[in-house]
Structures are given as C-alpha cells and as structure tokens.
Amino acid sequence: MKKKPADGPLGQLDALIKRAGLRLAESTPGEATLAISTEPELAPSDTDDEAFARAMGGVTRISWSHYPISSEAPRSPSLGDPGDEERRLMEAAVAGEPALTVLDHPEYIEGWVGVAGRRFLPSLRNGSYSIQGQIDLHGFSRDEARQAVEEFIGSMSRFRACCVKIVHGRGINSPNDRAILKESLQQWLSTRRLSRNVVAYASAPMSDGGVGAIYVLLRKRS
C-alpha cells in the first residue's frame, strides 16, 4: 500500500524537490541539505592568482593587432590666410552683391567712453566727421607707439573737439600675425590718461584703411 504524504508544508517537500529537478545530497541522519548544481568550489589552498587562472581556463587572448588602427596623425586646423577676407569682400563687390561695410569684417573694433559716447558711433562708423589729423604707427615699437599716441591725442584735443585717424596696421608681418599695436591701442584709449579726451572710436570705413586704422572722436581738453 502506497504511503500517503504527511499533511502540511513540510509534508509536500519531497514532491516539490522532485518537481524542481533537485536532489537531496547525502548527509548524516537528521540533516537534509539541497544540492544544487553550482560552480566548482575553490580549493582551500588556492591563491588569488591560482583561482583566476582556473576561472580563465580555456579563454583565448585576442591581440589588439587584429583590429586595424589608423596611424595617421591628427591634423591641426589650418589658420586662414589674413588676405582671404579682403579677397572675399572684393569678389562680392565685383559680383554686385549688397555692399559690405567694415562692420562685416571679423577684425572690426569699436568702443566709447561714458554713456553719451555710444550715440556718436553710427556717424563715426560711416565717416561722417572730417578728419583733422592723422598718425601712422607702422615701424614703431610698442613703447614708441604709445608715447606717440599720447602726444598726438594730447595736442589734437588741446584747443577743440575733433576727429582723428590712427593707422595701426593689422600685424600681418608680425610674429604669429598678431596685431600687437592694434590690441594695445584699445587698451591705451581706455586708460585714465587718454580716456578723458576720448569720446568714441571705431575701425575706419573700407575706403579709408578699414580694419587697419581707426577713427577717434576727441573732446576738447578741459
């Protein structure tokens, strides 16, 4: 006669174990341990290196040389020719495209001193003021140029308000094509020594030197 399983959760343990495909490991009486198929246990004497070597058994190393890598060195972006912009503007004018002003040039600069100075910029950009004096800084060192600009602005603003032209160049023949005098000139016009005489300044129109010169509107020295 077949023995009927005992009632209760534990009574169904044998049936559940068989249904799950598990088996009871051999054990001492009074112990019932489920033996589940797992990864092989490490021997107690295994070191970390030995355990890693056993786990990596059968794995084949693939060399990176199997993957072609381009040996071409990265190319640095080429610097544009300073004359490209002038050629582009000239070609646009010849082609009859809408007239381009100095404002379209990437090297255009302008500035003003005080809130009131900004309202004079449109007329200054357009060359509406007559030029009362001019100085050319080509061939000057930075220190020589600063002294010349300070003396020039000081003398021109001594008796009346006026507009002057300062030719600073574009630094095309300077090291790294850097317009050192142009950069310095903006700083000098903002100093306390010169700003008291300066109302506003802007790159000259294309017909009068363009970004190689600036117009400076001066107030009469007090």
For residues 192 and 102, is the Cβ–Cβ distance under 8 A? no
- Give the Cα separation of 66 and 165 in Å (integer): 67
Locate the domains of the chain by residue range: 107-218
Alpha helices (H) along 10-99: 13-19, 48-55, 84-94
Tell me the backbone φ, ψ of residue 181, rounded to 5 degrees.
-65, -35
144-170: pLDDT as tens digits: 999 999 999 999 999 889 999 999 988
Please give, one letter per residue, the 3-state secondary structure of 186-216. Answer: HHHHCCHHHHCCEEEEEECCHHHCHHHEEEE
Q: Domain 107-218: give its CATH code.
A: 3.30.1370.110
| 118 phi/psi in degrees, rounded to 5 | -65, -30
Tell me what pLDDT residue 34 has. 46
Ordered per-residue pLDDT tens for the chain, 222 residues: 545 555 555 566 667 666 666 665 555 555 444 444 445 555 555 676 676 677 666 666 555 444 454 445 545 444 455 566 556 656 655 665 544 567 878 889 999 998 889 999 999 998 999 999 999 999 899 999 999 999 999 999 998 899 999 999 887 766 666 778 999 999 999 999 999 999 999 999 988 989 999 999 999 887
pLDDT of 7: 56
Contact criterion met (CB below 8 Å) for 197 and 160:
no
pTM: 0.55
Cα dihedral across residues 108, 112, 115, 121: positive or negative: negative
